[in-house]
Amino acid sequence: MTRRSIRLRLTAWFAAVLGVVLVALVAAVWWALTDSVTDTIDSSLADRVAAVERFLSQPGTSQAVEELREDLREYAALDPGWAMIRIEDADGVVLYRSEGFMVPRVAGGSSPAARYLDVSVRGQAMRVLTARILVRDRPYVVDVALPTGELQEVIAEFRVVVLVLIPLGIVAAALGGYWISGRALAPVDRITSTARSITAERLDRRLDVPATGDELQRLSETLNAMLDRLSASFEDVRRFTADASHELRTPVSVIRTTAEVALRQTRTADEYRAVLADVLGEAERASRLVEDLLLLARTDAGVDQAAREPVDLDALLSDVQARLAAHADARKLTLTVERPAGPAVASLDRAAMVRLLWILVDNAVKYTPAPGSVTVALEKVPGTIASARTGMVPGTMTGDGAAVVLTVRDTGIGIAAEDQRRVFDRFYRTDPARSRDSGGAGLGLAIAKSIVERHGGRITIDSEPGKGSCVTVELPGAG
């Protein structure tokens, strides 16, 4: 939806809700006003009936028809409240009727209950009360009327005013709501415009954050944080692509140059064999680099999900120890393996763990000058301690609740503190210790980190220049 459609919908909803509220309010006021006016008139009519009853109940009031008529005329002349009254006895004989009283009798007027009726007499609206009273065991029927024209005119005027003001109020509220919603949605429009201008080439742009403390501020901050992550990811991709291109360009250039030099003149079979050996070495180097890049790409895409199984790392370490020892002996280094008491089982991808062990020991051997030492230690740690170390959620452990901790320590050249934060970055090599002359492309520790994190663990490094390094891998255990 566009901003205008939201604005119109907000305005329509506001106007509709306001209209319903106004109609309900006016209906309530109308009912209360009508009910109040009717109650006032009915009370006045009932008071007049009560006055007639009091008069007829006075001691000394004659019961003879003619005398009673005379008494009623005299009393009515003195009391203006006796206008619009008709009094009849039980036989229907009219004892008193106000001058001009032409109000028809209410049907069922002889009923003991009082009855009210709205009538029109000669174009004049009136409300009539017909009541039966009993005085000295003699029944009488009293009709009392009051004009209601003026009150009805007031109610009619109120109705006209309401019918005019409600639509005007809704229109005014809709216009005001449209204006207010426009101001409220203006920051959203600015956010939209800014976001539309952000492209892959302009990821440095950020949204203006209004200091309002409301949802718009939180939205802007969230979008800016997302843009920061996207920018960092794009930068990582650019750097990764540039580094990969550079790393692949070198062996390809060496292969091409070696082949061109070999073809410039005729050579012996041994010379061609030496050239082909150089080409093969560079091709193998490029092939390993491509495989490493594909492994990282599959991990990033979440498609490198090899089947896991309970693996005893102690037994696995014994299987690869001979190869690791031979690698250390070739560099005249001492390799020591420290094992836990009992199996150290974790749910792992066996091939990935072999590669992890090889990467860590190969790095330690590569950057430890002879005579030096490399120590591989494996231990089981209670789950609560592992959780405190790694930040794992307690309860992710299975079996006996122990975590498996693998450490690789060396007495090598070490890593500077400012470089330790980036040693797990792809293609990162400290200078000069981890230059291309060492034979690596700077992907080993990045692959190791991806393997560990894929298994729900954590890898850290602690190093000091000139004193060696210690790499620690923590993995959730399994029963």
Q: Does residue 296 contact residue 448 with C-beta atoms inside 8 Å?
A: no
Model pLDDT, residue 248 = 72
Rounded Cα gap, residues 323 and 338, in angstroms? 16
pLDDT of residue 77: 66
CATH number for the domain running over 215-299: 1.10.287.130
Neighbouring-strand partners of residue 89: 140
> Contacts from 136-139 at CB under 8 Å and sequence distance 24+?
136/56, 136/57, 136/63, 138/63, 138/89, 138/90, 139/89, 139/90
**In 3D, which of 394, 361, 399 has the Cα closest to residue 380?**
399
DSSP symbols for 174-227: HHHHHHHHHHHHHHHHHHHHHHHH--TT-TT------TT-SHHHHHHHHHHHHH
In the chain (479 residues long), the average pLDDT of successive 10-residue segments reads 66 84 86 86 87 79 68 68 78 80 61 75 83 85 85 82 84 84 77 77 76 78 84 74 70 81 83 84 78 70 68 83 85 87 80 86 88 88 48 38 84 85 75 50 80 86 89 80
pLDDT at 113: 63
| CATH 3.30.450 for the 3-154 domain, yes or no | yes
Q: What is the pLDDT of residue 65?
A: 65
| pLDDT the model gives residue 243 | 67
Whether the Cβ atoms of residue 402 and residue 424 lie closer than 8 Å to each other: no
CATH architecture of 308-475: 2-Layer Sandwich (3.30)
Cis peptide preceding 432, ω within 30 of 0:
yes
Q: Where are the domains of the chain?
A: 3-154, 215-299, 308-475
Alpha-carbon distance values, 378 to 336, 429, 463, 475 (Å): 11, 27, 19, 11
